[in-house]
């Protein structure tokens, strides 16, 4: 939605269905989806303050989830948290929910590039928190933001790399000794993994390179 278009009853219902939560305060729901550029057409509040709050609420929820479900040390948990609340991770979560189609903005689509999707996700987190409390936030995050004890090492590696460069990890797999050997390269570093399947080999290589890059970062 853009250029002064306002929400009708159907839009409220569709937005709530996408989120999976029915707001008591409908004006708060609309504010979650009001980009700062939209103030060119109205004097309604935009979602920037909600982004600020949502960032903190999201950080707490992810931190608590990792603390309860992952026995890693503080350094590893800190790096995992960075990956789960990164722009890439939140943009993917927004895409799963399909929230951007409800964004109220003005001007061309160039006004809503960059961090708009991840910021929108944070704003919605804040809106749910203010309207329904932390329990509803957790339900929302469980639905769209994956934070589990079982790590997807390929995803973690890709998000780590994409936070620092526009490139993605490069995987090369070949059969060897009745299994598969994979070499993955990213950020000038390499790591090898071996497995009975291509997927297992790629996962092992990604795990090793992710650990190596984290170690280099701390030097």
Active site residues: 55, 122
Q: What are phi and psi of 194, to 5 degrees?
A: -125, 140
DSSP 44: S
Alpha helix stretches (DSSP H) within 38-115: 48-69, 74-84, 87-97
Cβ neighbours of residue 121 under 8 Å, at least 6 residues apart?
Answer: 54, 90, 91, 93, 94, 97, 99, 144
CA-CA distances (angstroms) from residue 142 to 67, 83, 158? 16, 16, 21
């Amino acid at each position: 939605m853009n250029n002064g278009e306002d929400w009708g009853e159907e839009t409220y219902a569709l937005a709530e269905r996408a989120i999976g939560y029915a707001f008591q305060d409908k004006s708060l729901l609309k504010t979650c989806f009001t980009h700062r550029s939209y103030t060119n057409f109205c004097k309604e509040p935009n979602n920037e303050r909600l982004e600020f709050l949502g960032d903190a609420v999201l950080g707490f929820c992810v931190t608590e989830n990792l603390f309860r479900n992952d026995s890693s040390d503080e350094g590893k948990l800190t790096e995992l948290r960075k990956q789960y609340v990164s722009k890439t991770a939140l943009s993917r979560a927004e895409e799963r929910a399909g929230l951007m189609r409800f964004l109220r903005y003005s001007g061309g689509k160039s006004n809503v590039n960059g961090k708009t999707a991840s910021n929108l996700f944070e704003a919605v987190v804040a809106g749910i928190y203010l309207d329904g409390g932390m329990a509803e936030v957790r339900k929302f995050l469980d639905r769209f933001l994956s934070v589990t004890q079982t790590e997807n090492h390929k995803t973690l590696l890709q998000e780590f790399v994409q936070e620092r460069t526009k490139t993605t990890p490069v995987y090369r797999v070949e059969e060897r000794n009745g299994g598969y050997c994979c070499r993955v390269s990213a950020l000038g570093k390499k790591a090898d993994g071996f497995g009975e399947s291509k997927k297992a080999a790629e996962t092992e290589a990604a795990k090793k390179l992710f650990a190596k890059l984290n170690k280099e970062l701390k030097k």
